Structure 1
Amino acid sequence: MPRGRAQAGAAGVAVADRPAPRRYAPRQDPEKVPADQRRAAADRATRRPGPAADRRTSGRPPRNRPSGRSAKAAASSARGKGRAIAKKLPRLRPLHWFLVALLVLVVMPIGMLFYYDAQLHRVDALKAYSGRPAGTPGTTWLIVGTDSRADLSQDQKDRLATGDTDGTRTDTIMLAHLPPSGKAMLISVPRDLYVSIPGMGQHKINAAYNDGGPALLAQTVEQLSGLRIDHYAEIGFGGFDALVDAVGGVEMCLDRPLRDPKAGLRLKAGCQQLDGAQALGLVRTRAFPNADLERVVNQRKFMTALMSRALSPSVLLNPFRLFPLLNGATGALTVGENDHLWHLAWLGLSLRGDTVTTTVPTGGPVTTDDGSSLATDQSTTDFFDYLRRGEPLPDELLNDDGGAVS
């Protein structure tokens, strides 16, 4: 054999004996799935939800929902735990329900009463002094309406037509006398009554408050009447306005139209609901032939109407009226140091019914160093003598004529 072919044959043998190079050829058979995963897939296939459920749950991770049997067992366990907790809680027996009702109906109102009582403004109006009258039959209140503008803004002064006068004077002086028997009495003391004021001499009675405050006015009234004053209440312009608005206004019937620019008053004749500003104008106006003597008649009639309105069921049973009334009363009223909210409530109940209203009789007009005044005479003395003895007043000493309120 030639040498070249022999070499080729040898090379061919060598090539044939060398293994062929490996090429990338992935297997097409699926990988084996563990047996537990195959069983889970089979279970899902048998419980496959419908198309709607597929749409609702598409894109959401699967939830581990308990089987029907396990859900029932969980619900039963929860009910059992709830019953066990309920057994441990104390049961409300009838006595317990009674105590709860007592808390709501009694304890809470009493707590509110003391809270609002603490909000009242107080002043030492009834001071002890030498020669002060001893206790007299019944109960006597000194009620004062002042022309104080101290707490009013300029807008309020303009709206209420109060002007800008400085200082504080008594625009109204009343005695509420609750005798031991018979009807309650509301008595007006004319502001121009010329009397003796301790430490000042003879002056109009309203000068006592202007120069000596509530204490000097109370002492002056006590020495004039011989009555011992048991309680004191005072209200100013702004407080009066707020109090009337708090009860939703007061209905008054007028027998004539009233026009008084000085008091900001413009009212028609007939029955109408007065708001705070209108009511303040009514009790302030002196646009009458007898000026202050007719004004005090309107004041008394309005006060009894206000008491009746404030203590009516439409106010007391309506929280939207009751709480504004309490806030208005505590913010507007100034009382004596020993006076409380329950005293005011008793006064209101006493005056809302059939009340005797009158003006202290006088000796008529006189000219004094203070200008036009009203003198005292024997009728003034007799009037207070009946009250001190606790006896009914004779008709000839009663005067309730005039005014514009029918």
Structure 2
Amino acid sequence: METRVKRRKRKLKKGRVLMAFILLFILVSGGFAGTQYWLGLQASKGAQPFETDYSDSFNGQKTADGKTNILLIGVDSRGEEQSRSDTMMIAQWDGETDTIKLVSLMRDIYTEIPEYGGYKLNTAYYLGGPELLRQTVKENFDIDVEHYMLVDFKAFESVVDAMAPDGIEIDVEKDMSEKIGVSLTEGVHKLNGQELLGYARFRADSEGDFGRVRRQQQVIEAVKDHAVSVSGVMKAPKMMGTAQPYIQTSMSSAKGIELLSRILISGGGEIERKTIPVEGSYTTPTYEGAGSVLELDWETNRQELKDFLGE
């Protein structure tokens, strides 16, 4: 009987030591994450916030199946109150399966913008912010979104530099410099935030916007691969703190940070991707006042988008 009591005491003591260790680990980890997030915020001091807060005017709708559709809008505001959206994506997050899908919408798609008429898709944000862009996507593609996330490109540069001070490795496919603010040479290089953004935005070749979208997806994959490394995960809190001033969203701050974390640090899982318009479903006429546009076969592209998003 005495031996059994001693054994029980030893087990209880071990259990207490283990619980104390777990509690200490949680406290240290939480303190580290909080400190890194604060350091990120300090690093971004002086950032210019968006001139207008669009969250109160955004009327997004939930999907019937419980998935969350988010309109991701990338802009290069440069301090201007109005600017066209350079990047437009629909991100779908399925909370039950923890999967993410990304749809790139080409900015030169010729659409009917409610109350304005025919314009390129990227003009909708310029004319009426995220809500008008949501309405335009809804009217033309019959897909609604629940939330928006507006990201100034400075956020991307800051995130990359905070996460990878030595740069992220990319195989640059050709020399490029026109209208991207940097000069890149062909070959495998480690690019900093500004250079990586320039690579993703380059479109001054025969591929035009299609090449730009393809490179955007290549860059997202490279950033995600770096983010899931040990060093990337350790720097994630600082990365999010650095980016926060450059992001505006209709989601709560916690949910927005969680979404970005899922996209960048999704356990190495693949993100399903699609580009609209799909191959062979458009023409490229030139319209007065709009220039060269993408005129879509709407029936084909609507169905492709709905099938991809499962709607």
Distance 1:99 1:341 in 2: 30
Q: Could you tell which deviates more after superposition, 302-311 or 290-299?
A: 302-311
Determine whether 1:328 maps to 2:257.
Answer: no
Residue of structure 2 equivalent to 1:299: 216
Determine whether 1:315 maps to 2:232.
Answer: yes
**CA pair 181-225 structure 1, distance change in 2 beyond 3 A:** farther
Q: For each residue in 1:181-204, what CA deviation from the matched residue of structure 2 results, as whole angstroms up to 9, or x when unmatched?
A: 697432210101111212222211
Determine whether 1:191 maps to 2:107.
Answer: yes
Determine whether 1:173 maps to 2:94.
Answer: no
> What runs of 5+ residues in structure 1 fail to find an aligned partner?
1-91, 151-164, 391-406
Q: Could you tell which deviates more after superposition, 189-198 or 138-147?
A: 138-147
Amino acid across the alignment from 1:127: F
Determine whether 1:341 maps to 2:257.
Answer: yes
Amino acid across the alignment from 1:371: G
Amino acid across the alignment from 1:300: Q
Residue number among 194, 197, 201 corresponding to 1:280 in the alignment: 197
State the SS of the aligned residue for 1:266: coil
What's the TM-score, normalizing by structure 2? 0.75
Q: For each residue in 1:231-259, what CA deviation from the matched residue of structure 2 results, as whole angstroms up to 9, or x when unmatched?
A: 422222322221111111221113x3222
Cα contact 2:92–2:309 (8 A) shared by 1? no
Q: For each residue in 1:91-117, what CA deviation from the matched residue of structure 2 results, as whole angstroms up to 9, or x when unmatched?
A: x9963872574254169629939x87x
Residue number among 240, 247, 259 corresponding to 2:176 in the alignment: 259
State the SS of the aligned residue for 2:145: coil
Amino acid across the alignment from 2:170: M
Distance 2:150 2:221 in 1: 16
**CA pair 135-222 structure 1, distance change in 2 beyond 3 A:** farther
1:275 to partner: Cα distance: 0.4
Amino acid across the alignment from 1:276: G
Distance 1:372 1:137 in 2: 38
1:123 to partner: Cα distance: 4.5
Residue number among 34, 39, 44 corresponding to 1:112 in the alignment: 34
Distance 1:181 1:149 in 2: 38
Q: Could you tell which deviates more after superposition, 238-247 or 265-274?
A: 265-274
Distance 1:356 1:209 in 2: 25
Cα contact 1:137–1:389 (8 A) shared by 2? no
Q: For each residue in 1:311-330, what CA deviation from the matched residue of structure 2 results, as whole angstroms up to 9, or x when unmatched?
A: 3211223xxx3453132222
Cα contact 2:142–2:302 (8 A) shared by 1? no
Q: For each residue in 1:215-246, what CA deviation from the matched residue of structure 2 results, as whole angstroms up to 9, or x when unmatched?
A: 21122223333333234222223222211111
The two structures, once aligned, show a CA RMSD in angstroms of 3.4
**CA pair 314-350 structure 1, distance change in 2 beyond 3 A:** closer
Residue of structure 1 equivalent to 2:72: 143
Amino acid across the alignment from 2:30: P
Cα contact 1:123–1:337 (8 A) shared by 2? no
Cα contact 1:310–1:325 (8 A) shared by 2? no
Determine whether 1:124 maps to 2:46.
Answer: no
Determine whether 1:250 maps to 2:168.
Answer: yes
1:210 to partner: Cα distance: 0.5
> What runs of 5+ residues in structure 2 fail to find an aligned partner?
1-12, 42-48
State the SS of the aligned residue for 2:176: strand
**CA pair 125-189 structure 1, distance change in 2 beyond 3 A:** farther
Distance 1:99 1:331 in 2: 37
Q: For each residue in 1:21-47, what CA deviation from the matched residue of structure 2 results, as whole angstroms up to 9, or x when unmatched?
A: xxxxxxxxxxxxxxxxxxxxxxxxxxx
What's the TM-score, normalizing by structure 1? 0.59
Count of aligned pairs = 276
Q: Bigger relative contact order, structure 1 or 2, given CA contacts below 8 A and separation 6+?
A: 2
Cα contact 1:245–1:276 (8 A) shared by 2? yes
Distance 2:22 2:101 in 1: 39
Amino acid across the alignment from 2:190: Q
Residue number among 378, 382, 387 corresponding to 2:303 in the alignment: 382
Residue number among 133, 146, 149 corresponding to 1:217 in the alignment: 133
State the SS of the aligned residue for 2:83: coil
Distance 2:309 2:156 in 1: 31
Counterparts of 1:56-95 in structure 2 under 5 Å?
95=16
State the SS of the aligned residue for 1:261: coil
1:213 to partner: Cα distance: 0.9
**CA pair 364-182 structure 1, distance change in 2 beyond 3 A:** farther
Determine whether 1:365 maps to 2:284.
Answer: yes
Distance 1:357 1:340 in 2: 20
Distance 1:316 1:182 in 2: 18
1:207 to partner: Cα distance: 0.8
**CA pair 126-237 structure 1, distance change in 2 beyond 3 A:** same
